[in-house]
Structure 1
Amino acid sequence: MGRLASSSSSSSCCCFSPRTFTHLRLPSSFRFRVCRAFDSRSIPQAEQNHPSSQAAAMDVMTTYHDETKHGLQRYARGPHGLDWASQPNPFRRYLGARVVPLDHFPPLPPAEGLDPLYPAVFLEPQHPKPLTMASLSQFLYDSLALSAWKTAGRSTWSLRVNPSSGNLQPTEGYVISAPLPGISEHPFVAHYAPKEHALEVRAELPLSLWEELTQGLPEGSFLVGLTSIFWREAWKYGERAFRYCNHDVGHAIGAISVAAAALGWECRLIDDLGTKELEIILGVSEKKPVSTSGTSKGHFPELEQEHADCLILLFPRQVQAQPKNDSGAKSISSISDGQNESSPKVVLSDPFYSSALISRLVGLEWKGKPNALSREHVRWGIIYKVAEAARKPLTNLYKNGALPNSDRLQIDNSYQALSVYKSLTARQVVHKRRSAVDMDGKYGMQKEVFYQILLKAMPSIDPKESQGGQLQIPFRTLPWRAELHMALFVHRVVDLPKGLYFLVRNPSHEKILRESMRSEFDWEKPPGCPTVLPLYMLVAGDCRSLAARLSCHQEIAGDSCFSLGMIAHFNNVIGDQGPWMYPRLFWEAGVLGQLLYLEAHAVGVSATGIGCYFDDSVHEILGLKGKDFQSLYHFTIGVPVVDTRVMSLPAYPGPLVDA
């Protein structure tokens, strides 16, 4: 993801040579205006019904979001050049912790029949594998491990299954599990070291404490935690790094969800826990304070501390097939709705959410000292100020104890164009994924391929799900209803008019979206669009230059088959929940981005996440005013151009030295 990542190898696809494109007939009001410099004094104050502390946090969050927008007149604040001598080490190690090497897997392609094909992971619930050292190794290998090494000239760098802005890899992973033969005789907390594909055992828990923590959970459950090191992204991107770190958390959640599904495991984000409790669970609670004022350069080792992001529960899927309905669709209930006693609802018992219980982890003996990542740093104070404002309190979001979105998983093959996929396993796709650095600007994709990608990008394809419930993999990991939509710039899709389109991912938002956007938009269903896909053409015409200009003048957004901006339902969501929901909107964008990456490679093309775009210019094109909706992430999908100067090497064993 981003412009530092290397391109993927070329793949065959259904392509066509482009015809002459018609000129975009946009109303005169669509011309760009120069964005003014941002003035924090014009930022609206938080609503008065918030407690004073939350109102202050909301003000910090709003100020950060506005001041880190890119505009046609100026970019968000960042370094004027890259200090290569201080480039952060992308590999965190806990020196002194016991290292447990994990199992490796055969080179791709794997032995026939051992791994499910990519579409099957989403459409056919896999038989759950028991939690063992081997299955945990496979899970980490397919979610957070290295996917390749790249070399060009004297430079060598690694790529990972979970993508990252600029390939800077701010996200760290942790495993919390019951005793596993070959890893630990006791329940343990371990840090995942991707370069070695190994676990560093940081702490062991008393068995009685583990049993209290997991009371009421299915047998074979375990936890995965994610943290961020903001400095890794800030080294290149400055103040906008907080956005990109949370994009990367979302990509990691998406990668974890797909890898788990291939093993027959379900994922749920445990979002009742507060930031403080997460820090304790993951062993990153001992911190030195970071100054939140101004920007300074010097030796600030506290910038290398980890920020606790989230905790994910993984557990074996309990599959129960249901009769076909009238349309021939087959519903699959992965977790019972509680009416069938043979497949009980998964619940989290009250002690799991107890702050007093979590605090007992403070007394654990934590092993290992974190390695230094840079010899010099630049502190962007606003990053740590917004991170503090977005800290989540301990809450009781799910008072009935039921995990959200666990009641059903609807599958209807009549909406799926499965023939568009290559014959690739899920593992092949996740390890094949790359970020394209250039698109060819010549070839396009078939309309059926385009619609299939968008169907998979929907949180649900259930016509009865009118409130944005997230039922499809990987979105079902998230406990909230879908808050992101997609503004699409269609350039090269066979038999589909070029122009600006909009995908409404949460039907309950459609009315306010239509009212908030330009009145001259057509809102017409395109030809051949599946009935369950709420895709609309807003205006026809050639959007190539427009898409490139909106994405910081990057041609890759106009040379692709299509590009898009993710538009988040913003003010109401954060206002209702609190400023801690701000990073979660970026997580949702990252999960959606991960799905788009995998879909692109599964059909034989490529993709790139674009974090650099002109925020308010996107809003102006759509006619959006205020902060009811905000653009949070851009993406582009098309036929890549291969950089023949870059050579690929296997992920394991990798080189002894990397630049």
Structure 2
Amino acid sequence: MANDYIDAARVYHELTKHSYTSVRSSPQFLDWDIKPMPYKIYPGASSLALPRDLSLSAMPALTALASAPPADSMIAIDIEALTRILFCADGLTRRRSVGGEDYHFRAAPSAGALYPIEVYVAASEVDGVERGVYHFSPADLRMTGLRRGDWREYLARAAANRPSILAARAVIALTSIYWRSTWKYRARAYRYCFWDAGTMLANLLAAAAAEGISAEVITAFEDPALEHMLGIDGQREGMVALVALGASDAPPEPSPTPEALVLESIPIGDNEVIYNDLLRMHRESRLARSAEVQAVTSASLDDESRPAPSNLIEVATLSDDDAMRLGETILRRGSTRAFAQAPISAEELATIMASSSRHPRADCPRLTETYLIANAVDGLQAGAYYYDREARGFELLKAGNFRGEAGYLCLEQPLGMDCSALVVYMADLERAMRALGNRGYRDAHLEAGIHAGRAYLAAYSLGRGATGLTFYDDDTAKFFSPHAAGKSPLLMLALGVPRSFAQTE
């Protein structure tokens, strides 16, 4: 089988759907004794201590979210700037004990606070950092050395000779350790891992923009080549994405020959449960050869025609100066545990939607669209909407009080009923997979995570709350139809007024 065998993604998607019946016929009981360790540790490797006295960006969060430094920006990256970017993406922001369990919360949200995403750095032109490949450890703010040398040529070859990688001052690689998430979410966790990577990328892209450093997200690459370089097995830990940071006019040095990586890491836990549906989905979405990468990067989406909306509602957005600074926002961000059923303003909602909807600079096309239920938005009629990203306006699909429906769709959680607005990221998965193969399934979920992560930041920068939610798949698509006919929900995000800031992550 290969990436273009899209029945693999179709089957996986159907098998991992939630419905009113499925969540009752297959209840989940967590075995806390086998919960995986949230950190990857290389006990025998040397490491580099990163600066701890960090001054995070004072740029307004909304400005950082809207910024995209040009790809040829030659701004230098030093160890302090790299550390700020890594910390904003995956840094340990606080610790808390809940019910006798210790939780370590990080800069970006994660489904269930399970943090399956690992971060690696291939540094080539970073002042204060020797050229090489490193693993980032958020627990102690260090980078563990894995390989020496300039690896840009090797990485670029694996990614269809992507120019941004050849010129990058650093390349960040994201991987996912599936057991951390499957421990709670079972086979459906594959979706959640890409959500989590997306929210992390939202923070990373904003932090890079605040430094004036360009960033490009790359999802088409030869998985085996990168697995070999990072020393991961491609089954328990798999590749997710690359990010090319910055640009240099200095030509890359020839990459070393990648010998097998012999560094051992501590097992993250015993009694791992293998979910074959997840492994099959990952295996069938890997790109094993350069021809497969070329096919994905040269693909184009089918034309999608839709009549222009006749009832588009345009709402003014707030000034960037109305928002908190990016660094302050990331440190304050959590996941709201209870909403107050209080309204936010239409201007606040419009600002959050506009700030979060820009497609990142990436090697893949835009795949997702945005729908929402407005429960309590001053200046916007209660109802179901489609958000037009290009026009920055709301198209009313049906008016009415849908608090009950919003609460039901997100697995009958009060968060959906009590929030001010419930945002739903959706995609025509068939269209994505016809163009990109099974890789399109991954890319769509990753993109949804990026948009949701940006909405998190925008909401918290305005003093509001947010939390990600899962859903009843088919019921959600049906609720937004006929407009959403043929589309699948990928991720929900509740926005609103927290009942108490003590009830956040």
- TM-score (norm: length of structure 1): 0.67
Q: CA separation in 2, counterparts of 1:503 and 1:433? A: 24
* Aligned-pair CA distance for 1:183: 3.6
Q: CA separation in 1, counterparts of 2:54 and 2:154? A: 34
Alignment correspondent of 1:548: 407
* Aligned-pair CA distance for 1:200: 0.4
Alignment correspondent of 1:525: none
Alignment correspondent of 1:616: 474
- Secondary structure at the residue paired with 1:176? strand
Distance 1:576 1:209, change over 3 A: closer
Q: Structure 1 residues 124-133 or 496-505, which shifts more?
A: 124-133
Alignment correspondent of 1:81: 29
Q: Which amino acid aligns with 2:267?
A: A
Alignment correspondent of 1:121: 64
Q: CA separation in 1, counterparts of 2:8 and 2:133? A: 34
Q: CA separation in 2, counterparts of 1:444 and 1:534? A: 19
> What is the aligned-residue identity percentage?
22
Alignment correspondent of 1:641: 499
Q: CA separation in 2, counterparts of 1:452 and 1:253? A: 20
Q: Which amino acid aligns with 1:568?
A: A
* Aligned-pair CA distance for 1:582: 0.8
- Secondary structure at the residue paired with 1:593? helix
Deviations 1:50-84 (A, max 9, x none): xx7556x3222111100110111222986731111
Q: Which amino acid aligns with 2:494?
A: T
State yes or no: 1:426 paired with 2:326.
yes
Distance 1:421 1:434, change over 3 A: farther
Alignment correspondent of 2:8: 60
State yes or no: 1:309 paired with 2:208.
no
* Aligned-pair CA distance for 1:210: 7.5
Q: CA separation in 2, counterparts of 1:260 and 1:280? A: 27
Q: CA separation in 2, counterparts of 1:576 and 1:215? A: 20
Q: Which amino acid aligns with 1:504?
A: D
Deviations 1:424-457 (A, max 9, x none): 211111221111111111x211121111112223
Indicate which of 41, 50, 66 corresponds to 1:102: 50
Q: Is the 8 A contact 2:323 2:462 kept in 1?
A: no
State yes or no: 1:168 paired with 2:128.
no
Q: CA separation in 1, counterparts of 2:436 and 2:76? A: 37
Q: CA separation in 2, counterparts of 1:491 and 1:245? A: 29
Distance 1:540 1:133, change over 3 A: same
Q: Which amino acid aligns with 1:74?
A: S
Q: Is the 8 A contact 1:78 1:238 kept in 2?
A: no
Distance 1:254 1:98, change over 3 A: same
Q: CA separation in 2, counterparts of 1:501 and 1:202? A: 49
* Aligned-pair CA distance for 1:270: 2.9
State yes or no: 1:536 paired with 2:436.
no
* Aligned-pair CA distance for 1:564: 2.0
Unaligned residue ranges in structure 2 (runs of 5+): 299-313
Distance 1:216 1:558, change over 3 A: closer
State yes or no: 1:203 paired with 2:147.
yes
Deviations 1:249-307 (A, max 9, x none): 111221211111111111112344221222133232x56xx6xxxxxxxxxxxxxx311
Indicate which of 282, 303, 316 corresponds to 2:230: 282
Q: Which amino acid aligns with 1:362?
A: P
Q: Which amino acid aligns with 2:211?
A: L
Distance 1:138 1:556, change over 3 A: same
Q: CA separation in 2, counterparts of 1:490 and 1:140? A: 35
Q: Structure 1 residues 150-159 or 598-607, which shifts more?
A: 150-159
Q: Which amino acid aligns with 2:346?
A: K
Once the two structures are superposed, the pairs formed by residues 358-373 of structure 1 within 5 Å of their partners are 361-363=257-259, 366=261, 368-373=263-268
Alpha-carbon RMSD across the aligned residues, in angstroms, is 3.3
- Secondary structure at the residue paired with 2:239? strand
Indicate which of 362, 377, 388 corresponds to 1:504: 388
Q: Which amino acid aligns with 2:61?
A: Y
State yes or no: 1:446 paired with 2:377.
no
Unaligned residue ranges in structure 1 (runs of 5+): 1-51, 291-304, 318-345, 400-413, 460-474, 508-531, 649-659
Q: CA separation in 2, counterparts of 1:202 and 1:446? A: 49
Q: Is the 8 A contact 1:176 1:188 kept in 2?
A: yes
- Secondary structure at the residue paired with 1:62? helix
- Secondary structure at the residue paired with 2:76? coil
Q: Which amino acid aligns with 1:433?
A: R
Q: Structure 1 residues 141-150 or 635-644, which shifts more?
A: 635-644
Q: Is the 8 A contact 2:77 2:125 kept in 1?
A: no
State yes or no: 1:588 paired with 2:487.
no
- Secondary structure at the residue paired with 2:214? strand
Alignment correspondent of 1:10: none
Alignment correspondent of 2:103: 157
Alignment correspondent of 1:513: none
Q: CA separation in 1, counterparts of 2:353 and 2:191? A: 24
Q: Which amino acid aligns with 1:383?
A: L
Q: Which amino acid aligns with 1:222?
A: A
Distance 1:579 1:123, change over 3 A: closer
* Aligned-pair CA distance for 1:415: 8.7
Distance 1:77 1:633, change over 3 A: farther
- Secondary structure at the residue paired with 2:171? strand
Q: CA separation in 1, counterparts of 2:477 and 2:156? A: 49
Q: CA separation in 2, counterparts of 1:432 and 1:391? A: 36
Q: Is the 8 A contact 1:77 1:238 kept in 2?
A: no
* Aligned-pair CA distance for 1:216: 6.3
Q: Which has the larger radius of gyration?
A: 1
Alignment correspondent of 1:295: none
Alignment correspondent of 1:490: 374
Once the two structures are superposed, the pairs formed by residues 83-482 of structure 1 within 5 Å of their partners are 83-106=31-54, 115-123=58-66, 130-152=76-98, 154-178=100-124, 180=126, 182-184=128-130, 187-205=131-149, 221-284=169-232, 286=233, 305-316=236-247, 361-363=257-259, 366=261, 368-393=263-288, 394=290, 395-396=293-294, 417-419=317-319, 422-441=322-341, 443-459=342-358, 475-482=359-366
Q: Structure 1 residues 635-644 or 202-211, which shifts more?
A: 202-211
Q: How many residues align?
A: 480
Indicate which of 405, 411, 417 corresponds to 1:558: 417
